[in-house]
Amino acid sequence: MHAGGFAHTPVMPAEVIDALQVKPGGVYADGTLGGGGHAGLILHAAQPGGTLYGIDRDPAALAAAGERLGHVPGFRAMHGNFHDVKALLAGVALDGGLLDLGVSSHQLDTPERGFSYHEEAPLDMRMDPTRGMTAAQWLAQVTEKEFAQALYDYADERWAARIAKVLMEMRAQQPLTTTGDLVALVDRAIPKAVRQRDQGHPARRTFQAVRIAVNDELQPLRQALEDWVSLLNPGGRLCVITFHSIEDRIVKRAFHAMQHPCVCPPQAPVCTCGRQPMGRVLFGGAVKPGKAETEDNPRARSAILRAVEKR
């Protein structure tokens, strides 16, 4: 653990440094700084003369990473959302970028942030607690149809319609204000026999869907990936680590489209759309953590690393 309780056990550290091909004097950006685990490794590998821009929505993350890395020349902390990288890094040409799309251990382990279904806490779930709607506010105004759709789209929740219906019933009595209320909602909606067969906690999918909706994590992701690649120098690389299939699907499709952008019909004899490839997909697709790492850090189990190189 480190500053402000931020754990910084970075996932697939060696694989990330290897994939980024970090070189001394290079310019890099970590769009999901967290406790600065990956950022520290990249920054040290880029010395002498290297620069690392560390972007995060969470002021607590910036404070923790600043405490760890503030003394290293070339470290630049920035408060913002990686979706806005074009504005944040206007005029900067990058040799490499990293996005680790998992919720930080610190956010999960700080009960009052409301990300965890294990602890009773206010329903907040904002990555950036200085702005936007809390989970409680979102649940108070979401329609039954929108909520069911979010559960289905963001968590593959089979009981989406039933959970959404029960939300309306519970909300009519009183607002949901705590993580315990949200767990109680899932318990009421999913039959006990089904809950007992669940591999993990039955509420984890609902918490994931609410978190993604509150932080608008997926809608702007595809455009953000293109924006990041547009800032790379030729030969520069973007690495993305995802932790669930919905995010991974978006990254996989976006990278594929960068390599194969042609939208002409398959039967067309020649390409007339004129779209040029933006990047080349690396490692033939995806890299997963090794057995030793997943035993050491169980949260790494679902991690998938993808990378693309700018043409």
Strand ranges (DSSP E) for 101-215? none
Q: Are residues 97 and 231 in the same domain?
A: yes
Give residue-wise pLDDT tens across range 281-305.
Answer: 999 889 999 999 999 988 899 999 9
CA dist., res. 90 & res. 221, Å (int): 19
* Position 114 in a domain: no
Count of structural domains within the chain = 2
Q: What is the pLDDT of residues 151-185, one digit of tens each?
A: 999 999 999 999 999 999 999 999 999 999 999 99
In a domain, 241, yes or no: yes
Place of tokens 């790494």: 300
Greater confidence (307 vs 271) lies with: 307
Q: What is the Cα–Cα distance from 223 to 221, expressed in whole angstroms?
A: 6
**What CATH number has the domain bearing residue 249?**
3.40.50.150
Residue (of 127, 126, 134, 129) closest to 175 by Cα position: 134
What's the mean per-residue pLDDT of the chain?
A: 92
The answer as to whether 115 is a domain residue is no
Asked if the structure places residue 122 within a domain, the reply is no
Token digits for 215?
């932080």
Q: Is residue 305 part of a domain?
A: yes
Q: Which domain holds residue 148?
A: 129-214
Q: What is the pTM of this model?
A: 0.89
Are residues 240 and 195 located together in one domain of the fold?
no
Q: Is residue 118 part of a domain?
A: no
> Does 172 share its domain with 36?
no
CATH number at residue 151: 1.10.150.170
- pLDDT tens for each residue of 100-157: 998 777 777 787 888 889 889 999 999 999 899 999 999 999 999 999 999 999 999 9
Whether the CB-CB separation of 28 and 51 falls below 8 Å is answered with yes
Rounded CA-CA distance 37/100 in Å is 11
Residue that finishes a domain, picked among 214, 233, 262: 214
Confirm whether 117 is domain-assigned. Answer: no
Beta pairing, strands 279-287 & 94-100: unpaired
